[in-house]
Amino acid sequence: MKILGTGAGLPARRVYNSELAAFLDTSDEWIVSHTGIQTRYVCVEESLTDLAEAAGRQALRNAGWTAKDMDLLIAATISGDYITPSLACRVAERLGAVCPAFDVNAACSGFIYALEAADAFMAAGKAENILILACEEMSKHVDWTDRSICPLFGDGAGAVAVSCGGALRYMHLTAAGNTAPLKMRAPRGNSPFQPDVPQEDKFIRMSGQEVFKFAVQSIEKEVGLALAALSLAPEDVHLYLLHQANLRIIESARQKLKLSADKFPTNIERHGNMSSAAIPILLNEMLEAGKVAEGDILLMSAFGAGMTTGTCVWYWES
């Protein structure tokens, strides 16, 4: 598999830490020192389908495809505009695609899980040209009165157009069977046979310390496994595109690998944690900035609720 085109879609509204400090007991200094986040984009007029469509159209354009060239559309998301139809079907409708389309939910690891699904479709000979979307509207899931959660997240959509090729050299997914540290209940209907769900259960709940520990440990372990599998030294990798959840997690990984900061590009400062959308948007930014050359080795590693991880390595082919 190889990536032929990438794209991104963001809301127009950028929210600064100082704006949050106006209605929360927090400060720009606290948020920056604990997370590295300075701003995040938040949907106001836009729907998630709008962002996903914009990202998808850009990826198709960069790949030189039309919607009719796609054999399959996969969307990684936990925050589609509808429970059903899937976000993938909503975007397929907008793009005028007629291929199969479905969603994947692996939380912040969702983009890597979608890549693995795409690769499996290709290996089975069931698809050649696949559009992968990874899109999140986290602003509708967080409790905007909870200062420990709402500053962390942002909205955004990333997309990659993938086709058959040899660029993807390594893929490893995990799910630890540990759902307590990070979760959000699905909305309930009005069944008269079940009691009402308390209001507080509507939002994302996270044990920050547990998630931080899992993230640091899993990145160290998964990066080590990937490097060993490909007989690579840490410095052989040109770019480590890690999930953007907290600058301190990325810094911890960088220090353990004893590498320079330029190998660990970040966008969390501007975007916050966009869950599954973080890595594809970061990849799109790196490509637009001309930071990826033919043959470069890119390692992507994500972790998320579940607790899940996904790690893959690319020898870049355009």
Partner 1 sequence: MSHNKMLQGITEILREYKSADDLEVTEETTFESLSLDSLDTVELVMMVEEKFSVTIEMAKGIKAVADLMSAIEKAE
Q: Closer to partner 1 at the Cβ: 71 or 210?
A: 210
Which of the residues 43, 273, 284, 312 is marked catalytic?
Answer: 273
Question: Of the ranges 9-17, 72-80, 190-198, 213-221, which one interacts with partner 1 (CB under 8 A)?
Answer: 213-221
Who contacts 6 (Cβ-Cβ below 8 Å, separation ≥6)?
58, 59, 62, 158, 159, 160, 161, 280, 283, 284, 287
Question: Of the ranges 52-60, 66-74, 203-211, 294-302, which one interacts with partner 1 (CB under 8 A)?
Answer: 203-211
Q: Closer to partner 1 at the Cβ: 69 or 210?
A: 210
Residue 213: CB minimum distance to partner 1, A: 5
Contact between 27 and partner 1 per CB under 8 A: no
Question: Of the ranges 206-214, 223-231, 284-292, 294-302, which one interacts with partner 1 (CB under 8 A)?
Answer: 206-214
The correct pick among 2, 140, 248, 263 for binding partner 1 (CB under 8 A) is 248
Q: Known catalytic residue: 17?
A: no
The correct pick among 81, 210, 296, 317 for binding partner 1 (CB under 8 A) is 210
Q: Known catalytic residue: 243?
A: yes
Question: Cα 206 from chain centroid?
Answer: 18
The correct pick among 213, 235, 236, 288 for binding partner 1 (CB under 8 A) is 213
Question: Of the ranges 13-21, 38-46, 95-103, 211-219, which one interacts with partner 1 (CB under 8 A)?
Answer: 211-219
The correct pick among 85, 100, 165, 208 for binding partner 1 (CB under 8 A) is 208
Query: Three-state SS across the chain?
Result: CEEEEEEEECCCEEEEHHHHHCCCCCCHHHHHHHHCCCEEEECCCCCHHHHHHHHHHHHHHHHCCCHHHCCEEEEECCCCCCCCCCHHHHHHHHHCCCCCEEEECCHHHHHHHHHHHHHHHHHCCCCCCEEEEEEEEHHHCCCCCCCCCHHHECEEEEEEEEECCCCEEEEEEEEEEECCCEECCCCCCCCCCCCCCCHHHHCCEECHHHHHHHHHHHHHHHHHHHHHHCCCCHHHCCEEEECCCCHHHHHHHHHHHCCCHHHCCCCHHHHCECHHHHHHHHHHHHHHCCCCCCCCEEEEEEEECEEEEEEEEEECCC
Q: Which of residues 29-68 bind partner 1 (CB under 8 A)?
A: 33-34
Contact between 26 and partner 1 per CB under 8 A: no
Q: Known catalytic residue: 190?
A: no
Q: Which of residues 75-134 bind partner 1 (CB under 8 A)?
A: none
Which of the residues 43, 89, 99, 108 is marked catalytic?
Answer: 108
Contact between 209 and partner 1 per CB under 8 A: yes
Catalytic center residues = 108, 243, 273
In the complex, the residues that contact partner 1 under the rule CB under 8 A are 33-34, 207-210, 212-213, 216-217, 246, 248, 252
